[in-house]
Structures are given as C-alpha cells and as structure tokens.
Chain A
C-alpha cells in the first residue's frame, strides 16, 4: 500500500478484555516497530521486528503485551486483560532496513480506551 495502515482506528474495551491491534506496513519494508503514545507525551518504544524475527521487546510494559509478525509483513499487537493504564494511542512504523538514521514511516495509530 501507499503507507502504513493500522486498524481499528479506535477501540473501546472494558477492563479485563483482550484486544488485538493490526499493522500493515509498507510493502517491502523489513523493519517494523510498535510505539505507545500516552496523551500529551511522545511515543515510547514497545517492540521491533526485522522480517518475522522479534529482535527487541524490551519496551513491552508487562507480559500482558504480545506482538507477532509471522510472515514478515502484517503485525498484530495483542493486549490481554486490558487495564485502564493501557489507554493510549498505539503507533506502528516501518522502515526499509531499520538502520540508524533511517526514516520511519508511521501509521495514524489505534486509539485504545479502556473503561
């Protein structure tokens, strides 16, 4: 596609529900990143994939957060047993190779509200 596509655009969940957020990166982009952006803050790194391999998951806040990219293209971020503090915008970004200094292309994000 022309850009990074994320769905759904908005998600409302009751506390304790599981949610799945989808990211469709730019075709051919090797690297894929997930970020969490709280209201009024900058994005914070969650996890990074190179093709299907998850090379860094140091930013995932707890074991309730899980991400996968099984075929090296589309990625899913899953949050189990959601809590109110999980409310944020979840951003996906991709890049051609992921080297230092390389431009990231961001999606518009999924805004998650946990009630």
Chain B
C-alpha cells in the first residue's frame, strides 16, 4: 500500500535560516506528490506539488523535487520567515485512488 514517512518535529529555526523537511514515500504506480501547510487556526492548503519524476514544485520560496530513485520529496527553503511557522504535511496521490495519503506532519517554529 501507499505510505509517507516524514521528518519528525518539532523544528525550531531562527529567521533567515535554511530549512529542510525530509519526506520519503512508498507507492504503487506513479504517484503525484504534494506539500500541504496548516497555519495556526486555518485549514490545510496546498503549498506545492509535482506530478512526475524530476519535476520541481515551488511556491512562496519553498521548493521540492520529485526524486523517483530515492523515493523522496524533501521540502526546502533558503531563508525562513516568522510567518512560515506552521505544520507541514507531505502527501501522495495515485491515479487509481482518488484520496491522498498524508505523512504525520512537521511542526515548524521560526523565531525572530
């Protein structure tokens, strides 16, 4: 079956630090990969996605590259801001099943 393993948190960084949140997956077929973010008091929202191997998703300074050979989709940002404090979820979806499979989430706190 499908599964997503995500770097455990919480992660605490200073403003302008470099961020990496690791995500690896197991899937049948050729999944699409996603990062969703949940800001305090808000619903989950899509941050970025990649639908095939070697694609790079990017948004708001965040990037993640779909690596089929290592089954990974690590999230990176070169310089985090206080406003990036949130919970980040890695997820995958496959063509035969409409639902997404989520990782357990990583809490990020950025200090000024």
The secondary structure that dominates the A interface is loop
Task: Identify which of A3, A42, A93 gathers the most chain B CB atoms within 10 Å of its CB.
Answer: A42
Residues of chain B within 8 A of A103, CB atoms compared:
46, 49
Assess the B49–A33 pair: CB atoms within 8 A.
no
Contact with B along A49-82 (1 / 0, CB 8 A): 0000001100100000000000000000000000
Contact yes or no, B103 A42, CB < 8 A: yes
Say yes or no for A25: interface residue by CB 8 A criterion: no
Q: Chain B, interface size: which category?
A: 20 to 34
Question: Which residue of chain A lies nearest to B33 when distances are taken between CB atoms in the complex?
Answer: A101
The answer to whether B32 touches A100, judged by C-beta atoms less than 8 angstroms apart, is yes
How many interface residues does A have (CB within 8 Å)?
A: 26
CB–CB A101/B49 < 8 A: yes
B25 an interface residue at 8 Å Cβ cutoff?
no
A-facing residues in B11-55 (Cβ within 8 Å)? 31-32, 36, 41-46, 49, 51
Interface string of B88-105 (1 = CB under 8 A from A): 010101110111111111
A42 touches B102 (CB 8 A): yes
The reply to whether B105 and A42 form a contact with Cβ atoms under 8 Å apart is yes
CA distance A48 to B91 in the complex (A): 17
Q: Provide a sorted-by-A list of 30 A–B residue pairs whose CB atoms are within 8 angstroms.
A: A3-B43, A4-B43, A33-B98, A40-B104, A41-B104, A41-B105, A42-B105, A43-B89, A43-B102, A44-B102, A48-B99, A56-B97, A56-B98, A56-B99, A91-B43, A91-B44, A100-B31, A100-B32, A100-B51, A100-B93, A100-B94, A100-B95, A100-B98, A101-B51, A101-B93, A103-B49, A105-B45, A106-B36, A107-B43, A109-B43
